[in-house]
Structure 1
Amino acid sequence: MSHPAPASAKPDITYETFSEIELRTADVIGAEYFRGKPNLILLSVDLGYEQTQMIVGKGLPDLYEPADIIGRQVIWMANLKPKKIMGGMSKGMIVAVGDNRVDGLVVPERRADPGARVQ
């Protein structure tokens, strides 16, 4: 059974464009509300070859308390250009499911070494 493309479907891209996205496994080693705001979480992750952080909003705080995320393994977009958010630097992005809010995290079926390439 096929479903029609959503109205917000993006245009097709080439394999070369897609191959520029660097997805890696990351272990969440820290999480806390960013500057005490319950709608933003500062995640610290271990990519095996470096530790970095990002600021997450858009529904993740509605699904998870910071303590519930620590120890989880997630898929991380490692080569996203850093962005300043409310005075803090966000240096990556976790892959999640949802349109305008986070409905869940995309996670490996089996635990992998931190920093393993996702293909």
Structure 2
Amino acid sequence: MEENNLSWDDFTKVEMRIGTIIDAEVFSEVRNPAYKMTIDFGPLGTRKTSAQITKLYTPEEVIGKQVVAVVNFPPKQIANMMSECLVLGGLGDDKEVILIQPERKVKNGTKIA
């Protein structure tokens, strides 16, 4: 595996927060199967994003789940939507994405440390 070391200062610039998915629907305008989602980050407000999590989850079952997301990337245009955060997940053997979730319910906006 190639070394790609970050400095501690680089890592501390990545702002990861916990939020609750409050809306999810099929994102039909994209090439790869994905969902459009709205996530509530408490004091940070709501953010929109898309996630390629269709192999393991339906839109109905992700609503209400808490997830970990990077919230300080600049907005990125994805098809006809502006993505405002990046939901984190593990990548399985068949390229399926497994959402990273807190092991217990916490306040939306909780910072990952």
Q: Same fold (TM over 0.5)?
A: yes
Match of 2:49 among 48, 54, 78: 54
Secondary structure at the aligned position of 1:16 is classed as helix
Secondary structure at the aligned position of 2:55 is classed as helix
* TM-score after normalising by structure 1: 0.84
% same residue: 25
1:74-104 Cα deviation digits (max 9, x unpaired): 0011111111011211111111001683341
Point out the structure with max Rg over C-alpha: 1
Instruction: Structure 1 unaligned segments of length 5 or more: list them.
Output: 1-6
CA positional deviation for 1:10: 5.0
Match of 2:106 among 102, 112, 115: 112
Match of 1:101 among 80, 92, 95: 95
1:37-85 Cα deviation digits (max 9, x unpaired): 681200100000201110112xx11111100100000001111111101
Instruction: Structure 2 unaligned segments of length 5 or more: list them.
Output: none
Please list every run of at least 4 consecutive aligned residues from structure 1 whose deviation after the TM superposition is greater than 2 angstroms: 35-38, 99-103
